[in-house]
Structure 1
Amino acid sequence: MNGSRNGYLRRTALCMALGIGLACLAVPGAHAGNNDGSVVGHTAAGAVVTVVSPSTGLTRTITADDKGNYRFPFLPVGDYTLTATKDGQPLGEPRKVTVSLGNATVVDVGAAVNATNLNSINVTGTVLPVVDVTSTESATNISRQELARLPVDQNVTSVALLAPGVVKGNAGFGGIAFGGSSVAENAYYVNGLNVTDFYNRNGFSEAPFNFYQEFQVKTGGYSVEFGRTTGGVVNAVVRSGSNTFEGGTEITMEPGNWHSPAANHYDDDGNRYLTARRDRDSLIKTDVWASGPIVKDKLFFFAMYEARGSTPRNTNDQGNSITYNNSHDGFWGGTIDWNITDSNTLSLMAFSDKNSNVGDVYGYDYASDSTTGKTNEVYTDTGGKNWALTWSSYLTNDLSMKLMYGRNEREAFTHSQLDEDCNRVAATSAFLSEYDPGVQLGCTTSSTVYSREDTRKQYRADFEWTLGDHLLRFGYDHENDTSVSNQYYAGPGAIYYNLYTADPGDTIDNGGVVPAGYDAYVRARRYEIGGTFRTLNSAYYLEDNWQVTPTLVLNAGLRNDSFDNQDAGGHSYIKMDSQIAPRLGFSWDMKGDGSTKLFGNLGRYFLPVANVINIKQAGGLLDERTYYAFDGWDIEELNGVQYAVPKLGPQIGPVDTSQGDGSVRDQRSAVDHHMDPVYQDEAILGFQQMLNAQWSWGVSATYRRLHNAIDDMEISATPQCGGDGYIGWVMANPGKKVTVWGDTNCDGTPDGWIDIDTSKQGWAMYDADGNYLGQRGWVKPKRTYSALEFQLDRAWDEKWSFNASYVISWNRGNAEGPVNSDTDFDDTGRTENFDNPWVNLGGDGYLPNDRRHQLKLRGAYAITPHWEVSADADVHSGGPITGFGVGNPYDATDYHSYYICVQNCDSPVSEDRVYVHSPRAAYGRMPWTYTLNAGISYVLPFEGRGKLRVKLAVYNLLNQQRTVQVDQDLQTTISNSTNDTFKQSIGFQSPRFTQLTVAVDF
């Protein structure tokens, strides 16, 4: 008994000494909420435990259970004081506690410490979460204070890239990839509000750095309250007010001449193919913020405004056009927090990231560095308003609740002066040989204009219920994601003109007859796809955190997701229910003193279908074709450029809307009736250890496997009708059984459901003479990720800090995910991979996000009380290079493929051509990249409170501009020759730039 007691005392003393308050006693810890943290621990049975925020007066009191366990869930991020009393007498000294985002801080209160057990341990009074032995997830926390010291560029992506295993995407559409997943599989939260772009899932709503208090980057093993992602989670909480009036201003400057020029690039013949040397970025931002009490201890505010001016200029690849951009929109945001009672709080967070950019386009001569006349104006509107209202309540001593309702808006509208003023005009060569106007046709080459407004309405309810050694967490999460989308032709009336020759009396496509006296006609086509598209995502979750022994925590949870993507008519287009995602984890405090942790978890994660799928396939289609006799040319002028538009003579025949009358077509033949969702299974085993009060290290192994894909497939044959029975483009699961509406009795009319095993069927094969050879099926999608991760960390102690991570990983398969980085295809969920069976045949190998080696280092050092230096380094190996061919040995299709033609390639008969396999990743790798950021700061505290901070940061200090993307088209046509630009560099590291930040807080 005495030995057990002494071990307990040593454990308690060590937790106090390390200043971390780990899971030193039997108490369910679990994950904290998605916009707050928790404090848990042990004290005397029946003791009254109180936690107080000195800055806001927030006070919460609970009674420890009969084993002395206590828990404070849903605590706002910040500093607290913790006390305990028993029978009116204090137990030990008050403890200072720091609550961080998404973590449980474990503190023992009132334990009598035997001095003979302390030895040389230095007891501190502040408890910080460093190694959370109650957690089974892999996450990196980064505070506002740490970011102020480090040279990290001021955007959320740069913060996420600090975490191990997170890399930049290597395609033109950017993004970041977590653990082998594609860039379109992540989720982003601000104060519990999901701000992920649900249109194509590659992007998010973002606020300035000064708006955020803390970030948590989850790279794996996250609990059941998080879902709708098979990648990673970036979770952020914003700043709040306190009882002290505070304010500040910060100016960030990046003048154009502080940016090193990007290099031009030339082909093997010395021809410039990328012109970038005269591109320049220029940015200045001024943040003003204030916070304080509206009613002391009750009601608080934080408000911020950012005035920003961004004026970058960029040339086109050819160097014959230059665009001067100008954006001066301001950001606003704030929070209001109300401590209604000690058991109830209400918090409102709101911000607007709406932005409008105008790009003035001029003709340009690179050799003389001179501009000619203005040719266009391009307008880009993005962002919108975001807000979330959260109510947290302690219903009883053991039951707590959090309710949230929020709204996330994103606009996406890029258009130009030419789009508004100019119709597109095209003509056949035969027409132009007879009716050449002598000037260009029309004044735009852009045929289509897109506009979209996305609105997410989200509400969720989260509960925590403590039952002895069990902590039950359960809740409901619902999103209504609505896209109002329009796609239409450029110009007045949204008309596209096509011109053709004909003879008088000829019958044309709509059945009309060319009138006498005319030998040419005009087709005026109005083509619009649009509507309101809604997706309903809902989930229930239940999780049990069981403290099996004083040193072992088991975490078992279930999440049940449902996705309902609807067409423009409000009917379910893709609907998937009962997606059961089990999560199982453990955390073992190996030494029983909270210093050493072994943890692991198994989990399943589901990915929803992006709204781009609804929009592209399930909208109201208007294809209105009106025909007119050609009556000559009108010559007009815009921006000094003359152009021709056709004069319309008498209308020929009726208006043809047979291809689309604006209604939503029957989707039963366009989507699998029994669609299976996309999901990923994950296994993690890890170890963490505190070496002393500052140093810790860890190692973990991760394995991920993606199951299934949802993509568009062209089903050209069904089992019925002797291989006939064309269905068309279907959203389905490649390589699995598909059920679609089709022709069951071979009369040419769809009349029933047809089952097609797409692993064996669905694509008709014919020989050169048109003889039917049978059907071919699709390969199943595959993706795996295996990694070993090592971390070493030294916590900041007012003198220096350091973090190092190294990841070695393998990312293999035949499907990157819902986008294709290697072919620069970002239409999420509509890749080329499975358009027909041949596209992905032989496509297994290392995937685009395979970065075998990743080394990340960051740290800061205080030279004096006023001067600090810092650095951040990222070193990783390059991604694989594939040589894509065109066509295949079995079919005449001309998509990307993993085959290249080497003989008889000019033959029109596909079976006469000779192909060889061109495997994925068979052409080497892109080079290693090295990015070093460095900073120096001057800090001057003011007498009383407040301080001045001046930071000069240089990003990409060595000005590395190494290749991160190459042309991977080995063949672009079916021929014996290969593409001259294969492996030509087309993407590079951003050049060096310098940023000066001057901040005054008071």
Structure 2
Amino acid sequence: MKNRNLHRSALSIAMGLCLAALTPVAMAQDGAVVGVSEAGAQVTVRNPQTGFSRTVTADASGNYRFSYLPVGTYELQASANGEPVGEPVQVRVGLGSATYVGASDDVTSLGAVQVIGSRVINAVDVSSTESATNVTAEQIERLPVERNVSSVALLAPGVAGGSAGFGGISFGGSSVAENAFYVNGLNVTDFYNRIGFSEAPFDFYEEFQVKTGGYSVEFGRTTGGVVNAVAKSGTNEFHSGGKVVLGPREWESSRRDSYFEGERYLTRSHDTTDSTRMNIWASGPLVQDRLFFFAMYEGRQVEPESTNNVGTSFTRGTSDDGFWGATMDWQVTDNNLLSLMAFSNENRLDSSTYAYDFDTDEIGDKISDRYTEAGGTNWALTWTSYLTDNLSMKVLHGQTERKDIGASPNDATCNFVSAGTGVPDPGVPLGCTSNLSIYDRLDEREQTRVDFEWSLGDHRLRFGLDRESNTSDLSQAYSGPGGIQYGVTATTPGAQIPDAGIVPDGYFAYVRARQYEIFGNFESTNNAWYIEDNWSVTDDLVLNMGIRNEAFDNKDGLGATYIEMDDMWSPRLGFSWDVRGDGTTKLFGNVGRYFLPVANVINIKQGGALLDARTFYGFEGWEIREHNGVEYAFPILGEQFGFDNSQGDGTVGDLRAEVDADMDQVYQDELILGFQQQLSQAWSWGVRGIYRKLNNAIDDINITATHCGRVGSSWVMANPGEELTIWGDTDCDGVDDGYLTIDTAQAGYWTEADNYVYTDGEWEYVDSTPTGQRGWVKPRRTYKALEFQVDRAWDEKWMFNGSYTLSWNEGNAEGPVNTDTNFGDTGRTENFDDPFVNLDGYGPLANDHRHQIKLRGTYAVTDNWRVGATVDAKSGGPITAFGVGNPYNWKSYHSYYLCVENCTRPTDAEEGDTWSTADRVFEHSPRGDAGRMPWTVDIGASVTYQRSFGLADFQAKLAVYNLLNDQKPIWVYQELEPGVGSRDPYFGQERFLQSPRYAQLTLSLSY
């Protein structure tokens, strides 16, 4: 009887393996196998490709677990009295997932197991409480998916690409600056502004896991999503190969230019990119069964070309830096593994800008040169130790590096000049440089984490520590004499310009001359510990209970702490119920809290000696100048009407007066309830309900009033709508002498009206009338969604996956960036600069794509030919008609009010007439009330030919993206009133479009 049960256990080892396994397991390049056998049974897991094996003994209840298993294909074997029982069963361990094994006295229960080709798949993991999608590089090769991590993430339901100019991806209604990215457990997220991440070429990766919600307490520092990737590794067999990816510009459809009233205002039709990438790789053993390597080098030739918006200059660039990456895996003993992953993605782009005539397509003399540098070296060293059958440990230490450098040979002599829509075209290029600033930043992260897993009968404890030190070394200033950038904006006489004043009579455009510079070394440290219990309450019910404690410490340019938050408790609770008890149907759910750290850009722009001086002039036309024999336009400065340096005067101030001493953290609460069912051996379906609520915000707010009355403008990092504790004047004697508290929901901002009198033929300022104080509204953001999925597993013939997401993303704050106003300066948005930016601003947020449909599939026509297709369709985001005024105060940034009467000083005034900003009449312009952008549909198609020639495997894949060449707008101008009393004729006109149709040919040969 015992041998019979062991035989049955060996067969049932395959139960629970799934394409999107979701059980919380070790972060990084690992997975797990967990199951039930006969008490005291010996169970062995072995990777035949590397010789790695482990044997554990099932406990008194028959439970056993293999933790921290490197991703790969394994054989499981049950044994009795040292003799194998039955045949080994092949299973695959996926990234961040667990293969769950169940034994049953009823052999017919193995009907839950699907044998598809040579693999065993179970579409429902009844031990899972998370929400994630696993995708292997092999699966991507069968589909027309662009070769980057972001495109893989976009396959998951509820994930959308950012529509503003700063890009990124949005998970479940969050902004693009709230995500986390890992490679082999190393956090490669850009901590400067949290929008980007360090990325390797696609062929360096083996597998991806996209976590869209409910992830366990080992993950933190994100209120969006998590993308986890693992690099390739070597085996006992030598393999090598090469790949060429061709993307010639001739295979790219022409981008569409934008016209308004018959005039071209955005020129894109000559923007193209030519790219050729070729990699070679090798893998194999250095010591059989012990030491393995994988190494890859990719050469790249990328040549972008583009024109400026008005088509008067042409820029041609070239980048030919190569990538290198490697992994090393050493099985030091049977119970100890050492792994090294390293890659360098350093890249330099050199570009030259020329005078250009769009109508004749003639390229003239060179105007300027520019270069940018990005990327850096990244590495992680990981030690895994199986201390006992039930206790495992993992230690990781690593570093990431990201350069961001931009400069030009003309930096000393040429200022950068730009002009908005509606400004007269000078017919020659603006300025004599294409380089906005002399910028040199190096971001370095040092990361250490220790993770443990301890199985105690029905309980599995997981606990660990996680520390990161993030340092930004920055030097930045605008190019040209005086370090000044000149921007020209169309307006109307008498319009109110934020931070500037009233546009003088006779001017229909103004110039903002901005001097901006900052230098320093800035550090932040993030520390966390966590503990979690995965409790098998019964054979059919699993509870996941965890707690994470985080602490953030951001330091200024002098190395002193200025934002410090600790004791951030993140409870997480999840359950999974095997409804039928046979592993085919489950009900699951989880609730949790997630915290978001403060980006390093905040350290720099508030904790550094920032100089941000803005001087405003009337625009009196263009002066045509010459540099190196090439003509260019420079603005003629008229009457000065404004100056502002309140956001940085070049000194590190008393930060006690600039940071809330009792600031609360930014966090999000999440609730998920889901159902998943296996319909047959190949088909499964599921539904998931999600509710997310963002609590709090940290942003810069402009405090202009305290209990002592009006004070000088002070920009403070704080929680809008909450109590604020800052250093100030406690006894109203004009001297800052202690901490005071301001309820920013009620007060903190001085309101007033400016009064004018018409004297001697012009309006003169008289005085300002105080109108009281106002406070800020509290930030709000909610995401509610229903996700439906259906999946048909690959059986060497065809596969299909489809999802539909119905969602509502609403509130008055998108997050640390603003998509609707195209503002990507993380944590320093305009949302809370003064109390009127968000006043009456609740509505659909920029990432509110009410409907999303995603389809992907592959079909093997013959043994040699395959076709694949993807569809990504989503409804457009909301459009808001922003103003810049409000009924309560003359000075404001973007607002949800439009001036409709008495907006500017009368032009037909008589001597002695008076006018006040209090005379203005406004009407509410609700968020999203100006309609929506159109649906976008992106269809991809691919055809693949593969064939083996003895020891060599050849593959050719032609992929076409955006097959229908739809170029719908994904972002439009949403500023209806750029100045009080001024209407922008370009409101609602398109700015950013879908990428045009383009094709790639991939040729690979492997041995």
Structure 1 counterpart of 2:824, from 802, 826, 835: 826
2:764 is matched with none
1:741 is matched with 727
Alignment root-mean-square deviation, CA: 3.1
Provide Cα deviations, 1:624-683, integer angstroms capped at 9, x if missing partner: 9xxxxxxxxxx99743248999xxxxxxxxxxx999997633211111001111000000
Instruction: Output the amino acid matched with 1:761.
Output: A
Deviates more, 1:200-209 or 1:945-954: 945-954
Task: Output the CA distance in 2 between the equivalents of 1:529 and 1:951.
Answer: 48
Change (3 A) 1:688 1:902: same
TM-score normalised by the chain length of structure 1:
0.88
Structure 2 counterpart of 1:969, from 955, 961, 975: 975
Structure 2 counterpart of 1:701, from 669, 689, 694: 689
Instruction: Output the amino acid matched with 1:378.
Output: R
Determine whether 1:952 maps to 2:939.
no
Structure 2 counterpart of 1:469, from 458, 468, 475: 458
Q: Assess if the C-alpha contact under 8 Å between 1:333 and 1:351 holds in 2.
A: yes
Task: Output the CA distance in 1 between the equivalents of 2:20 and 2:900.
Answer: 65
Deviation at 1:421, TM superposition (A): 4.6
Structure 2 counterpart of 1:683, from 655, 668, 671: 671
2:202 is matched with 209
Determine whether 1:664 maps to 2:652.
yes
Change (3 A) 1:363 1:527: closer
Q: Assess if the C-alpha contact under 8 Å between 1:952 and 1:994 holds in 2.
A: yes
2:599 is matched with 610
Q: Assess if the C-alpha contact under 8 Å between 2:392 and 2:452 holds in 1.
A: yes
1:501 is matched with none
Change (3 A) 1:869 1:489: closer
2:30 is matched with 36
Task: Output the CA distance in 2 between the equivalents of 1:112 and 1:736.
Answer: 60
**What are the residue-to-residue correspondences of 1:172-191 with 2, within 5 Å?**
172-191=165-184
Deviates more, 1:45-54 or 1:322-331: 45-54
Q: Assess if the C-alpha contact under 8 Å between 1:875 and 1:928 holds in 2.
A: yes
Determine whether 1:761 maps to 2:733.
no
Q: Assess if the C-alpha contact under 8 Å between 1:9 and 1:113 holds in 2.
A: no
Provide Cα deviations, 1:367-402, integer angstroms capped at 9, x if missing partner: 110011000111111100000000100011111000
1:992 is matched with 997
The DSSP-based 3-state class of the residue aligned with 2:273 is coil
Task: Output the CA distance in 1 between the equivalents of 2:109 and 2:54.
Answer: 35
The DSSP-based 3-state class of the residue aligned with 1:878 is coil
Structure 2 counterpart of 1:920, from 920, 924, 927: 927
Task: Output the CA distance in 1 between the equivalents of 2:878 and 2:552.
Answer: 34
1:397 is matched with 389
Deviation at 1:11, TM superposition (A): 11
The DSSP-based 3-state class of the residue aligned with 2:603 is helix
Aligned length: 931
Change (3 A) 1:421 1:905: closer
Structure 2 counterpart of 1:779, from 771, 777, 802: 777
The DSSP-based 3-state class of the residue aligned with 2:823 is coil
Q: Assess if the C-alpha contact under 8 Å between 1:900 and 1:917 holds in 2.
A: yes
1:327 is matched with 319
The DSSP-based 3-state class of the residue aligned with 1:146 is helix
Change (3 A) 1:803 1:759: same
Structure 1 counterpart of 2:259, from 256, 263, 266: 266
TM-score normalised by the chain length of structure 2:
0.88
Task: Output the CA distance in 1 between the equivalents of 2:276 and 2:244.
Answer: 7
Change (3 A) 1:424 1:336: closer
The DSSP-based 3-state class of the residue aligned with 1:614 is helix
Instruction: Output the amino acid matched with 2:560.
Output: H
Provide Cα deviations, 1:852-887, integer angstroms capped at 9, x if missing partner: 000000010000000000000011100000000121
Determine whether 1:934 maps to 2:911.
no
Instruction: Name structure 1 gaps, 5 residues minimum.
Output: 427-438, 498-523, 625-634, 646-656
Determine whether 1:408 maps to 2:400.
yes
**What are the residue-to-residue correspondences of 1:250-261 with 2, within 5 Å?**
250-261=243-254
Deviation at 1:765, TM superposition (A): 2.1
Deviation at 1:14, TM superposition (A): 7.9
**What are the residue-to-residue correspondences of 1:410-429 with 2, within 5 Å?**
410-422=402-414
Identity, % of aligned positions: 57
Instruction: Output the amino acid matched with 1:256.
Output: R
Change (3 A) 1:902 1:293: same
Deviation at 1:274, TM superposition (A): 1.1
**4+ residue segments displaced more than 6 Å:** 6-15, 115-125, 423-426, 439-442, 492-497, 524-527, 642-645, 657-663
1:981 is matched with 986
Deviation at 1:486, TM superposition (A): 1.2
Q: Assess if the C-alpha contact under 8 Å between 1:191 and 1:349 holds in 2.
A: yes
Provide Cα deviations, 1:236-294, integer angstroms capped at 9, x if missing partner: 00000000000010000011110000111110x20001111122211110010000000
Provide Cα deviations, 1:390-421, integer angstroms capped at 9, x if missing partner: 01000111110000001010011122222145
Structure 2 counterpart of 1:578, from 567, 570, 581: 567
Q: Assess if the C-alpha contact under 8 Å between 1:29 and 1:40 holds in 2.
A: no
Instruction: Output the amino acid matched with 2:172.
Output: G
Change (3 A) 1:29 1:705: closer
Q: Assess if the C-alpha contact under 8 Å between 1:43 and 1:68 holds in 2.
A: yes
Q: Assess if the C-alpha contact under 8 Å between 1:22 and 1:106 holds in 2.
A: no
Instruction: Output the amino acid matched with 1:958.
Output: L
Instruction: Output the amino acid matched with 1:709.
Output: A
Change (3 A) 1:835 1:309: same
The DSSP-based 3-state class of the residue aligned with 1:664 is coil
The DSSP-based 3-state class of the residue aligned with 1:892 is coil
Change (3 A) 1:8 1:416: same
Task: Output the CA distance in 2 between the equivalents of 1:974 and 1:119.
Answer: 67
Determine whether 1:484 maps to 2:473.
yes
Change (3 A) 1:154 1:53: same
The DSSP-based 3-state class of the residue aligned with 2:705 is coil
1:909 is matched with 916
Instruction: Output the amino acid matched with 1:899.
Output: Y
Change (3 A) 1:901 1:620: closer
Deviation at 1:308, TM superposition (A): 0.7
Task: Output the CA distance in 2 between the equivalents of 1:659 and 1:848.
Answer: 26
Change (3 A) 1:642 1:903: closer
Q: Assess if the C-alpha contact under 8 Å between 1:604 and 1:682 holds in 2.
A: yes
Task: Output the CA distance in 2 between the equivalents of 1:17 and 1:890.
Answer: 66
1:165 is matched with 158
1:192 is matched with 185
Determine whether 1:247 maps to 2:240.
yes
Task: Output the CA distance in 2 between the equivalents of 1:838 and 1:55.
Answer: 64
Structure 1 counterpart of 2:714, from 728, 739, 749: 728
Task: Output the CA distance in 2 between the equivalents of 1:778 and 1:659.
Answer: 19
Task: Output the CA distance in 2 between the equivalents of 1:869 and 1:615.
Answer: 50
Structure 1 counterpart of 2:443, from 454, 462, 480: 454
1:880 is matched with 878
The DSSP-based 3-state class of the residue aligned with 1:612 is helix
Q: Assess if the C-alpha contact under 8 Å between 2:15 and 2:121 holds in 1.
A: no
Change (3 A) 1:250 1:119: closer
Q: Assess if the C-alpha contact under 8 Å between 2:16 and 2:99 holds in 1.
A: no
Instruction: Output the amino acid matched with 1:204.
Output: F
Change (3 A) 1:125 1:150: closer
Deviation at 1:119, TM superposition (A): 12
**What are the residue-to-residue correspondences of 1:438-453 with 2, within 5 Å?**
443=432, 448-453=437-442
Q: Assess if the C-alpha contact under 8 Å between 1:727 and 1:742 holds in 2.
A: no
Q: Assess if the C-alpha contact under 8 Å between 1:478 and 1:538 holds in 2.
A: yes
Q: Assess if the C-alpha contact under 8 Å between 1:883 and 1:970 holds in 2.
A: yes
2:226 is matched with 233
Deviation at 1:899, TM superposition (A): 0.3
Q: Assess if the C-alpha contact under 8 Å between 1:545 and 1:553 holds in 2.
A: yes
Task: Output the CA distance in 2 between the equivalents of 1:991 and 1:22.
Answer: 32
Instruction: Name structure 2 gaps, 5 residues minimum.
Output: 419-427, 487-512, 614-623, 635-644, 755-766, 906-914
Change (3 A) 1:994 1:801: same
1:653 is matched with none
Deviation at 1:749, TM superposition (A): 2.2
